[in-house]
Chain A
């Protein structure tokens, strides 16, 4: 018996990814972990675009192009974030986001 995934299967998958991403962003203490969770969010969104392109907008490829761009943007974001983390690590010797809380009130 062969299982052929439908639209809603794909959407459930992307939603699961999205939820894991949100959970990670809210709970990971290591900044790099937070960043990885954000990547999950972006990927789930990219996946959504691909899915919808396939099911709802077939002759056009806007969704697929969007997914490519999202990968590029995610890379750019990661570059900036990682550079920042390195800079912070130099001055604070930690990238634990719960420890970085001088600014408040």
Chain B
């Protein structure tokens, strides 16, 4: 037995994903048809209970394994679904370790606040109850994903997350743009998932073969399955894979899957469009949970990633590029949610490159990445929910139709400001600590290009965030709607206040003591204080934003005109969507799909038709043997006996 055998939260950890699921069933089947109001309350309570249990579990776990000690992975609950061979089984279970606890706390906590917020935000919408069942389903999928003790369960829930986000993005199904956005999100992530699946199969096949040859590694139980993370992260598999030359390809395939969900360049195109969903959904899916699934996956498989340095390096550079690329686009967007979406891309880029610069020995990046995941979840959810409150009040997404909202919506104003400061990396807000650690990890591992990008993007982030803050909340009102705006109801402001408090203080957690990988926890390099240039970069971004956007709007217009073509290119998001369209429509459709369609119609369909015709003919011919004459049948039987006996005679003797 383990140290947590007496912990209620540990023994019942399966309830954490199960509660939203039960609620999904009950609300969807029984409550929704009766009362929308009750549906919202039940859904919220179930997730809040799960959040309570997760925090309880975190408390028990870190009491048993205090800061700085080793944090083992414990299986709280496991159910063998199907066992094919000794070392090949499909299990469902709940894995409790520091990584899964971190994700559980973040997901349940943000999700319950989003549920609470949605009670106010969605009031009066059509499909209010349907919305909450989807939210429950999504929360369940995400929790099932993060507690998975084996990669197959991860994959199943990975797809389920894709489905539920598809439902949520397309929630306003009467709006064509929402429908096309949901389809886009689903197709892009599905496309990436295909690579993920191939990667999973590759690593599992090699792992299984290795285990059937050499047996289970000594440190693991005998019945360990080749899909289990405990086995996949053991060094034997990586060495075996590496010897076969398969490790890097497999890990890159898995990384493509992660890039799809985490919207890394060039698979990022679905995320900005996904803002068509209701704003709380954006806060939940596209800030705190679904998009960090990729980060989670890389962190979960960090050991094999680290064993293949190349795969990790690819991740690092893709992350760094996304980080810069998205930040630049964010500076030009006028839609408040789109700015936040690009900002999310950029922050995910931070997390991924932090993982990319880490290695089996230098693990600071790992800790920093997850630290940023933790803090980012709070302030980005807060930003989205704040944006939601603003949109709710003025009924527009365009920041140039806002302005001067600080007086109308004081709570939203202050909480939004705190989040903006946090994401800009200003001391003492949460983002300062985590971002500083990421930049320090890049510096410490001598990835100077990535380090420079990180430093530069810190400034750009501060710039675009203050741009929207200043334009939205300060200055004069720029539309009639603003004058009619008023503060959001309690159910919406309470989550804002809670998240603001956390965004302010979450940075003081000694995160590295709790979440780390490998034998020793990584520590910042002594010597050069990285936080000084990082903070300076952020502050100068704020200063430039203030200079351009505060007071009169002439300067920004002048700047836009001066930049001219460059501005337009950036404003059009570097035409990435157009490139996709061009490639798919003009190249793939015309030069590959059209000939294939012709081939399919003429030759494949023809072949299928022919086969169908032949089977039917065959059926008709053989059915004619069935003459209805008993003695024909008996003749067949006697001939059959002779044939079988003769055949045996010929072949055996």
Contacts and interface: CB of A to CB of B under 8 A. Distances in A.
Interface of A: 22, 25-27, 34, 97-98, 100-105
Given A105-B623, A105-B626, A97 B631 contact: yes
A105 B631 contact: no
A100 B638 CA distance: 21
Interface in B628-644: 628-631, 634-635, 638
Contacts of B623: 105
A105 B628 contact: yes
A22 B640 CA distance: 13
Nearest to B638: A22
Nearest to A100: B630
A103 B629 CA distance: 9
Contacts of A105: 623-624, 626, 628
A101 B629 contact: yes
Contacts of B6: none
Interface size class of B (residues with CB under 8 A): 10 to 19
B627 interface: yes
Interface in B592-641: 623-624, 626-631, 634-635, 638
A49 B626 CA distance: 35
A27 B630 contact: no
25 contacts: A22-B638, A25-B631, A25-B634, A26-B631, A26-B634, A26-B635, A26-B638, A27-B631, A34-B630, A34-B631, A97-B630, A97-B631, A98-B629, A98-B631, A101-B627, A101-B628, A101-B630, A102-B628, A103-B628, A104-B627, A104-B628, A104-B629, A105-B624, A105-B626, A105-B628
A74 to B, nearest CB: 18
B305 to A, nearest CB: 64
Given A26-B634, A34-B631, A98-B629, 10 more contacts: A25-B631, A97-B629, A100-B630, A101-B628, A101-B630, A102-B628, A104-B627, A104-B628, A105-B626, A105-B628
A1 B120 CA distance: 118
Chain A interface, >50% SS class:
loop
A22 B642 CA distance: 12
A98 B629 CA distance: 6
Contacts of A26: 631, 634-635, 638
Most B CB atoms within 10 A — which of A26, A100, A102? A26
Nearest to A102: B628
A84 B515 CA distance: 82
A97 B635 CA distance: 14
Nearest 6 A/B pairs, CB to CB: A104-B628, A101-B628, A97-B630, A105-B623, A101-B629, A26-B635
Interface of B: 623-624, 626-631, 634-635, 638
Nearest to A101: B628
B570 to A, nearest CB: 74
A104 B630 CA distance: 10
Most A CB atoms within 10 A — which of B626, B631, B634, B638? B631
Contacts of A97: 629-631
Contacts of B628: 101-105
A27 B635 CA distance: 9
Nearest to B620: A105
A2 B142 CA distance: 97
Contacts of A103: 628
A13 B513 CA distance: 95
B626 A104 contact: yes
A22 B638 CA distance: 8
A8 to B, nearest CB: 20
B49 to A, nearest CB: 64
A34 B473 CA distance: 102
Contacts of A34: 630-631
Contacts of A27: 631
A82 to B, nearest CB: 16
A80 to B, nearest CB: 16
A24 to B, nearest CB: 11
Contacts of A102: 628
A101 B623 CA distance: 14
Contacts of B624: 105
A65 B638 CA distance: 28
Nearest to A99: B629
A22 B624 CA distance: 24
A33 to B, nearest CB: 11
A105 B638 CA distance: 21
B145 to A, nearest CB: 55
Most B CB atoms within 10 A — which of A22, A103, A105? A105
B640 to A, nearest CB: 13
